[in-house]
Structure 1
Amino acid sequence: MSAPSVRLGVDIGGTFTDVVLEIDDKSFSTKVLTTYAAPENAIIDGMHTVCAQADIAPSRIDQIIHGTTLATNALIERRGAKTALITTRGFRDVIEMRTESRFEQYDLNLNLPDPLLPRQMRFTVAGRVDAHGEVLVDIDRAEVEAVVDQIGKAGFESVAVGLIHSYLNPTHERLVRDVLAEKLPHVAVSISSEVSPQMREYERFNTVVANAYIKPLMASYLGRLEDRLKGEGVSCRIFLMHSGGGIISIQNAADFPVRLVESGPAGGAVFAAHIAARYGLEKVLSFDMGGTTAKICLIKNQTPKTSRVFEVARTYRFKKGSGMPISIPVIDMVEIGAGGGSLAHVDGLRQIRVGPESAGSEPGPACYGREGTRPAVTDADLVLGKLDPENFAGGSIKLHPEASKSALNHHVGETLDMDATEAAFGVAEVVDENMANAARVHAVENGEDLSEYTMIAFGGAAPLHAGRLAEKLGVERLLVPPGAGVGSAIGFLRAPFSFEANRSVYMKLSDFDPERIKTLLAELQAEATGFVRTCDEKSPILSEFKVYMRYTGQGWEIPISLSEAQAMAPDARVFEARFIEDYTKLFSRPVAGMDIEITVWSVNATTPPQPVARTPELGGTDRAAPTGTRRVFDAASAGFLDADIVNRFDMQAGVHAVGPAAIVEDETTIIVPASRNAIRQPDGCIDVITKGSAQ
């Protein structure tokens, strides 16, 4: 009989590092504070904790899947490598000019964010490729060598290469890379035709610059992590979660670290999709709230919505358009600065504001007793009775209510003439309304009605706020799965090995070329499959085909999924019918008499998803036995109510708790509002539903 498989999932967040160990159908988990200076330290500490829980040696681990915010944080905090950009003459300022759109149209004092690289770090070379991939002006190798010599003398650690229309013809970019490899072999190099071979030079240049900027940092970190794990006797392969919801090898992650920018949130969306499949839910709102941010994602037909472009490091209250666009495959979600560590203050208009600044883990909220003096959302939750100061994080962190009250009084209450409870209520309502508003806008942008959705909540802070968020959004059903506090790390262990290859090749349906399309899609399929084979040499690989289409003259495209048969036997009439079908769903009607064009072609290679067993749903009448009561603030009632305290792991399948209640466990607490009841389902999910509604 073979030994059981042992897998470790690790998610480094802005506040906590979550570690989950799975041995067949058993799991063990822990949360440890993130160690910013050396993130691998928290991983090693967490690994030893879960291995001790499972009574195994770390050397027994067969596979590690890791997601991290390190890439994101490096971009936000501008602490990457000293990086140069080599681009086409005349296009030196593309990443500074942006698209010239104003993300806040009526703000007369609007400040656009600075580009990642200042002008003196951007170099140009002659040579020009046109929009059809034809060479108009040959590149001069001697000129390239002279530019590379300048870069070498200036001591750059990494170089990004982004030339005009290189997504159609990468010859010039490859020549620049060859010269860099010959003359500066110690310098990291990223070329846009490999990192993001897509049209729109601003997004493409920004993406390759971001990749080059964080490449040495991530390579160093991944190397240190491998060495530390080997020193602990762990010799298994390490894989990384990428932003598109799949897993790639550590070498691919080191080459394309920009694909890790949303790896943690992507794991959470995969986790929510897995729960949706267990319950056969077609429409799910994934709500992930950790210590630093909250993430909201729409999941339809058990598949998270994806996109080709997203923004990181938004500088204007998380306003869309104020960040750095990254053009890579990514799970489409809205992210706001609303986590447990998000700091509260009163602005010049005497309004309570929460986030995006976070206390993180160092020093943390005031209640942590680690010299933090400013109030965070966690401080408000503590004052409102949502948290037990003696049993936070399983008792590993003692909370200090008086420190929370003092911080809330000083930074909010004194300015607005409120006591600590009123200030805490204000902070909690502001953060909940911020999240509700973000969810409403995201739903409207996608043509969805959230009242038809089921919410799945996870992350250390989400179960504390999900009940109130569901009230605000009119969502009747909320599921809090087991392991919710470490949901993203569990999601890593559910994700397939996958890689999406895409390329911009412009084509109108009136100029439809079936043979060219077959060749293009076959090349993309081979490229994506090759990446997956570096992770998994045995499993079958599925291919998912997608094209991005629009009416001629429109500014942006919509994704159109194709079956393999439709992709491998291209027919203009089928492409047109699929586009009109999806366009009508989004915008209610097609546009008659206009030609249709395709701008981007995409193939995602993926191993098959794990089989999911449906959960039989229960609705029993037995009531859970409380271990006590405590006063918990109910926002809808605007006052404290006596809430039953129920241990989650004492609840049997079919047993219910009547709101208001606090269902407690080591990693989080589920607050059941007075308007709701909670039922424990056979798979361990806590099913929170509106009183009087049919399950």
Structure 2
Amino acid sequence: MTSARLAVDIGGTFTDLALEHGGRRTTIKVLTTSAAPERGVMDGVRTITNTAGIAPADIALIIHGTTLATNSIIERKGARTALITTEGFRDVIAMGNESRYDQYDLNITLPEPLVPRHLRLPVPERLDNTGQVLLKLDEAAVRALIPVLRDERVESIAIGLLHAFVNPIHEQTIQAILRQELPDVPVSLSSEVSPEMREWERFSTTVANAYVQPMMARYLRRLEADLHAAGAAAPLFLMMSGGGLTTIETACRFPIRLVESGPAGGAIFSAHIARECGLDSVLSFDMGGTTAKICLIDNYKPQTARSFEVARVGRFRKGSGLPLRIPVIEMVEIGAGGGSIAHVDTMGRIGIGPESAGADPGPACYGKGGVHPAVTDANLALGRYDPARFAGGSMKLDLTAAHDALLADVGARLSLSAELAALGVVEMVDENMANAARVHAIESGKTYQGRTLIAFGGGGPVHACRVAEKIGITRVLVPSGAGVGSAIGFLRAPVGYEVVRSLYQRFSTFDAAAVNDLLDNMRQDAEAAVAKGSFGALTTETRTAYMRYVGQGHEIPVPLPNAVLGDKDIPLIRECYDREYARFFDRPVPGSDVEIMSYAVVVTTVTDKVAPMPSSPGAPRTEAKPARTQLVRDTTTGTVSAWAIHDRDTLGPDAYITGPAVVVEDETSTLIGPGWTAVVSALGYIEMTR
């Protein structure tokens, strides 16, 4: 019996699988089965175990990430959900914080709440900001809601009460009553899902958790049963948005923490590659079939955040989505994947996405009934793909269908040939991704100077050189297994959990004892969650405080020491805050008091340390001989020329390639543009420089 480990990442177009066993790695891509995602997973499990020559029973651990929770919210296909809230606050999730993502749009469209108003059910109760009871919960009013919930056929219930993050007693009482009367209806408490101040974000997160919980719990239990039936009895872990793994029980209870699980795996993959190569400043570029994800990684750690927006009604418009207050790896995600559909707008401009052809019917070249051109069709028409080897040869691409779709939807509108239409499509999608990367760097207070772009995903290596040119990066790294990078990232992730609590403090009146008690309780909660899946492994703890100057509206994260805090620590923490504030806003504000709004404690298992691979300066390089040539149209000049085609499996360490060239492999292709050179490292990674 082997100790094989399997990772599965369900995307909008492809389901990626990576299996590590006996020091070897096997990877495959299969089409996602949107109607029943577990079918695609099981097809992939059977294929990859057969390819690797092992049985499903030989798998010791299965790690899974999925976009199902996100898609359910975006497509409004979740459970019929009710919200029980404090009397007078039923409209919090509709009013939000009254901000407008476009100040000058008189007809602005705001995101619709997941719960309609008639299912937002108020009850008399009230706590003050310290958790003291001002008005006792009216339990009779709660019981009077039972017939309403039954008549409305409510499938899931969210409970969000004022100041419940300080004292959950009333929420817990309502939950106990509901369990007696409606034992089969899942209940989400705001004091458990998102125990932080700010009612809109807390209620919105709790409602979203309730909205996806029945669907996600059913799916995960079906998948677990199917895996067991196939002989794979290994424990199933889920990737969370914050970069840690959790048990299926926790995932079923808090599925909202899975919304960015796939992209989080990609960021962890990039961080691992960065550490292997000794790169302390990189840009992670993950382009899949439906979206592209961009993440900044410094000192081998992805940038993280405490909030996230889903289902934006304004494309790329911050503030136009439903807020989720969960731990996430911070990244920008745009509808620019291989399946993103190209069109011409009313002003005669080529647009890309956000609509995607997905896996069914997929781009026109898939030959499954798709008639609209996607980015994959454009890349094929430009000569960038081998039609016979796409997705490991599991499907043969139809070049004629791609030409016809490009001509019908883009070329005919702009009086262009199919090939020039394809050039316009690819150039626009590259510019969209580059622009998103520029904005992300500015918002993060960082630059791309000196960074290395790590490209992966099915489309990342295809577009990496051109995106790098646009944002001023001169070095690109394409690791092995790039086509299924997020799945491989799952195998590198620790088991972890983050607990967040609000406790208002000022430095001028800092209560060290109260803060120490809070942090200790948070550590115990996080350790209990991790213990369910750590199997006794060593753990590490990270503490963070979210602070702001008195009078400001938003906080910045500041690390705290993992020790009992005392008065002597306050000046050091204040100094750290001023330094972080200056990094964001150029200079601190002397003389202003600082307030701490909330605290976060993260407990994770200790992962194996990765020593950077030593470089070998002056090692002899061998000019790689191409397997053949292929006509490719360059997107920069528009000219068609014969590009060298190399098979990645035949490229050994120190193989040297001068662009233009294409390196093909089963899950992706790497384009080495004109003016770029590439060398294969000792790890088998393609390092391109301009």
TM-based fold match above 0.5: yes
Deviation digits for residues 591-639 of structure 1 (CA, Å, limit 9, x no counterpart): 1221100011000000012221322335643111100011122222232
Q: List aligned pairs for 1:292-331, cutoff 5 A.
A: 292-331=290-329
State the SS of the aligned residue for 2:12. Answer: coil
Distance 2:22 2:473 in 1: 34
What's the % identity of the aligned pairs?
52
Deviation per residue, 1:390-422 (Å, 9 max, x gap): 211121111111111111111111111111111
Q: Any idea what the Cα deviations from partners look like across 1:634-687, whole Å, max 9, x if unmatched? A: 222232232110111111101111100000000000011012111111111110
Residue 107 of structure 1, CA deviation: 2.4
Q: Secondary structure of 1:114's partner?
A: coil
C-alpha change, 1:567 and 1:435, in structure 2 (3 Å) is: farther
* Partner residue in 2 for 1:166: 164
Q: CA deviation at 1:566?
A: 6.5
Matched to 1:236, the amino acid is A
**Rounded Cα–Cα distance in structure 1 between residues aligned with 2:508 and 2:497:** 31
Q: Letter of the aligned partner of 1:652 in structure 2?
A: G
* 1:496/1:607 contact within 8 Å kept: yes
The answer on 1:190 being equivalent to 2:175 is no
Gaps spanning 5+ residues in structure 1: where?
A: 691-695
- 1:689 maps to 2:656: no
Given residue 55 of structure 2, which amino acid in structure 1 is its aligned partner?
A
Deviation at 1:565, TM superposition (A): 2.9
Aligned to 1:262: 260
1:546 aligns with 2:538: no
Q: Partner residue of 1:364?
A: 362
How far off its partner does 1:569 sit? 7.9
Structure 2 match to 1:657 = 657
Residue 273 of structure 2 corresponds to which residue in structure 1? 275
Tell me: CA distance 1:570–1:155, structure 2 relative to 1, closer, same or farther (3 Å). farther
1:463 alignment counterpart: 461
C-alpha displacement at 1:178, in angstroms? Answer: 0.7
Provide the rounded CA distance (Å) in 1 between the counterparts of 2:536 and 2:567: 28
Q: Which deviates more, 108-117 or 248-257? A: 108-117
Q: Map of 1:126-205 to 2, 5 A cutoff? A: 126-205=124-203
Match of 2:443 among 419, 432, 445: 445
Structure 1 contact 68–263 (Cα < 8 Å) conserved: yes
* Aligned equivalent of 1:495: 493
Give the C-alpha shift of residue 567 in structure 1: 5.0
- Paired position in structure 1 for 2:680: 680
Q: 2:337 aligns with which of 327, 336, 339?
A: 339
> Using the alignment, how far apart are the partners of 1:84 and 1:222 within structure 2?
23
Alpha-carbon displacement from aligned partner over 1:181-222 (angstroms, at most 9, x marks no partner): 111101000000000001111111010000001101011001
Q: 2:585 aligns with which of 583, 587, 594?
A: 587
Deviation at 1:125, TM superposition (A): 0.5
Q: Deviations along 1:98-147, whole A, 9 cap, x unmatched?
A: 22211122223221121111111110011111222222111111111112
Following the alignment from structure 1 to structure 2, what is the Cα–Cα distance between the partners of residues 674 and 356?
30
Aligned partner of 2:410 in structure 1 is: 412
Where does residue 624 of structure 1 map in the other structure? 624
Q: Is the contact made by 1:318 and 1:337 (CA closer than 8 Å) also made in structure 2?
A: no
- SS in structure 1 opposite 2:211? helix
Aligned to 1:524: 522
* Residue equivalent to 2:205: 207
1:565 counterpart SS class = coil
Question: Which amino acid in the other structure matches residue 427 of structure 2?
Answer: E
1:62 match: secondary structure = strand
CA distance in 1, matches of 2:449, 2:670: 21
The one of 50, 54, 57 aligned to 1:56: 54
Q: Which amino acid letter does the alignment assign opposite residue 138 of structure 2?
A: D
Whether 1:645 and 2:645 are equivalent positions in the alignment is yes
The counterpart of 1:32, out of the listed 30, 33, 56, is 30
Structure 1 residue 481, shift from structure 2 partner: 0.6
Q: Decide whether the 8 Å contact of 2:239 with 2:490 is kept in 1.
A: yes
Q: CA deviation at 1:330?
A: 0.4
Q: Secondary structure at the match of 1:504?
A: strand
State the alpha-carbon separation in 2 of the partners of residues 215 and 225 from structure 1. Answer: 15
Pick which of 551-560 and 310-319 moved more: 310-319
State yes or no: 1:505 paired with 2:503: yes
Matched, 1:533 2:564: no
CA contact 2:158–2:206 (8 Å) conserved in 1: yes
Matched residues, number:
688
Give the residue type in structure 2 aligned to 1:532: V
Residue 38 of structure 2 aligns with an amino acid whose one-letter code is: E
Superposition TM-score, scaled by structure 2 size = 0.98
* Range moving further from structure 2, 330-339 or 637-646: 637-646
Alpha carbons 1:367, 1:401 under 8 Å: kept: yes
CA distance 1:509–1:78, change in 2 (3 Å)? same
Cα distance in structure 2, aligned partners of 1:632 and 1:101:
48
**For the residues of structure 1 that align with 2:39 and 2:216, how far apart are their CA atoms?**
15
Question: Are 1:454 and 1:476, in contact at CA under 8 Å, matched by a contact in 2?
Answer: yes
> In the TM superposition, what is the alpha-carbon distance from 1:332 to its structure 2 partner?
0.3
1:267-287, Cα deviation, whole Å (9 max, x unpaired): 000000000110111111000
Return the alpha-carbon distance in structure 2 between the equivalents of residues 26 and 17 of structure 1.
Answer: 20
| Conservation of the 8 A alpha-carbon contact between 1:620 and 1:655 | no
Where 1:269 maps in the other structure, the secondary structure is: helix
SS in 2 for 1:452: coil
d(CA) in 2 for partners of 1:139 and 1:480? 58
Distance 1:225 1:462, change over 3 A: same
> Given the alignment, which residue of 88, 91, 94 partners 2:92?
94
| 2:104 partner SS | coil
Match of 1:120 in 2: 118
Name the stretch that deviates more: 637-646 or 84-93. 637-646
Q: What secondary structure, in the 3-state scheme, does the structure 2 residue paired with 1:490 have?
A: helix
The counterpart of 2:246, out of the listed 245, 248, 252, is 248
Match of 2:353 among 352, 355, 358: 355
Quick one: distance in 2 between partners of 1:562 and 1:625? 54
Distance 1:141 1:570 in 2: 47
Residue 103 of structure 2 corresponds to 105
State the secondary structure of the residue aligned to 1:674.
coil
Instruction: Write the letter of the residue equivalent to 1:504.
Output: S
Amino acid at match of 1:174: Q
Aligned Cα root-mean-square deviation (Å) = 1.2
Alpha-carbon distance in structure 1 between the residues aligned to 2:620 and 2:78: 55
Quote the Cα distance in structure 2 between the aligned partners of 1:480 and 1:446. 25
Aligned twin of 1:14: 12
The structural deviation recorded for 1:570 is 7.2
| 1:164 Cα deviation from its structure 2 partner | 0.9
Q: Does 1:609 align with 2:630?
A: no
Are 1:517 and 1:570, in contact at CA under 8 Å, matched by a contact in 2? no
CA contact (8 A) 2:516 2:564 kept: no
Q: Distance in 2 between matches of 1:101 and 1:331?
A: 25
- Which residue does the alignment assign to 2:667? 667
SS in 1 for 2:332: strand
1:319: Cα distance to partner?
1.8
Name stretches of at least 5 consecutive residues in structure 2 with no aligned partner.
Answer: none
8 Å Cα contact 1:71-1:214 kept in structure 2? yes
- Whether the 8 Å CA contact 1:616–1:682 is kept in 2: the answer is no
- Range that drifts further, 636-645 or 467-476: 636-645
Amino acid at match of 1:269: A
Q: Corresponding residue for 2:421?
A: 423
CA distance in 1, matches of 2:280, 2:540: 22
Q: For residue 226 of structure 2, what is the aligned residue in structure 1?
A: 228
The amino acid across from 1:82 in the alignment is R
Cα pair 2:310 2:321 within 8 Å, conserved: yes
